[in-house]
Amino acid sequence: AQSVAQPEDQVNVAEGNPLTVKCTYSVSGNPYLFWYVQYPNRGLQFLLKYITGDNLVKGSYGFEAEFNKSQTSFHLKKPSALVSDSALYFCAVRAREGTDKLIFGTGTRLQVFP
Amino acid sequence: EPEVTQTPSHQVTQMGQEVILRCVPISNHLYFYWYRQILGQKVEFLVSFYNNEISEKSEIFDDQFSVERPDGSNFTLKIRSTKLEDSAMYFCASRGSGTYNEQFFGPGTRLTVL
């Protein structure tokens, strides 16, 4: 069965420091992987995706993510965190074949301190 | 930038009542979805819709739920007889025709069943 794990409920980081939000997945075949961000009282905003090709994908607001097939991971990263990055981050997977529903992780709350 | 809109933002209803949640997907999108997020839990897939019919539905999407695209712009989710456990944030999403395209989410409707 498809699943996504985000092992950290919350990540705290100081402004200007690099951040990493972890995600691992389980899916039959090759996956489509996504990161979404949710600000308070807002919907899910698309950040970036991995479909195929380069393992390092770049997205909105300076975020990037690294796909690692052997570790079945898709960690979200940013070289220098901003206070405004504080939000809830969701990793999601879609199986390549047969379905386009998204399976979401439980979310990780990122808190960036000034 | 085009966006998915949802109305109302908050709906309060009595148990057993019917509710209709409304969504206006991005205008040139062809694939439509409903997800829900019970407070404190992960975002869950409910249903996908394409070419005026359901493509896929989850176990949650039982006979109490229905979806409709009544005209060229709206996409609705109806719950016939609401239960307390239907209380959740309901997100509508839409996607363009490309296989690799991401889903764009609306801001959500918070449904409270009393």
B80: three-class secondary structure by DSSP? coil
Nearest CB neighbour to B56, from listed A43, A51, A99: A99
Tens digit of each residue's pLDDT (9 = 90 or more) over B13-43: 999 999 999 999 999 899 999 999 998 888 9
Q: Are B16 and B114 in contact (CB under 8 A)?
A: no
8 Å CB contact of A101 and B108: no
Question: Across the A/B interface, how many CB contacts are shorter than 8 Å?
Answer: 50
Give the pLDDT score at B99: 73
- The shortest C-alpha distance from A41 to chain B (Å) reads 7
CA angle A81, A89, A105 (to 5 degrees): 145
**Percent of the residues in chain A that have a pLDDT greater than 70, as a whole number:** 97
CATH, range A3-113: 2.60.40.10
Give the pLDDT score at A28: 83
Q: Are A6 and A88 in contact (CB under 8 A)?
A: no
Mutate to test the interface with A, among B6, B33, B43 (most CBs of A within 10 A): B43
Nearest CA in chain A to B101: A49
Euclidean distance between CA atoms B112 and B114, whole angstroms: 6
Q: What pairing do the DSSP bridges indicate for beta strands B43-50 and B53-57?
A: antiparallel
Give the pLDDT score at A41: 75
**In which band, very low, low, confident or very high, does the pLDDT at A95 lie, cut at 50, 70 and 90?**
low
User: Is the model's pLDDT at B106 over the cut of 70?
Assistant: yes
Give the pLDDT score at B63: 94
Euclidean distance between CA atoms A29 and A6, whole angstroms: 20
Chain B partners within 8 Å of A32 (Cβ)? 100
Chain B partners within 8 Å of A108 (Cβ)? none
**In which band, very low, low, confident or very high, does the pLDDT at A16 lie, cut at 50, 70 and 90?**
very high
Q: What pairing do the DSSP bridges indicate for beta strands B109-113 and B10-13?
A: parallel
Chain centroid to Cα B43, Å, comes to 12
Domain residue ranges of chain A, discontinuous segments joined by +: 3-113
Assigned token pair, B80:
């016939």
Domains and CATH numbers, chain B: 5-98+105-113 (2.60.40.10)
Assigned token pair, A51:
């479909």
Nearest CA in chain B to A42: B107
8 Å CB contact of A101 and B58: yes
Tens digit of each residue's pLDDT (9 = 90 or more) over B43-87: 999 999 999 999 999 999 999 999 999 887 899 999 999 999 999
User: Is the model's pLDDT at A1 over the cut of 80?
Assistant: no
Mutate to test the interface with B, among A36, A37, A101, A103 (most CBs of B within 10 A): A101
Give the pLDDT score at B40: 83
A13: three-class secondary structure by DSSP? strand
Instruction: Using CB atoms within 10 Å of the CB of residue A88, give its burial: 0 to 12 exposed, 13 to 18 middle, 19+ buried.
Output: middle
Nearest CA in chain A to B100: A51
Average pLDDT over residues A25-51: 90
Give the pLDDT score at A14: 98
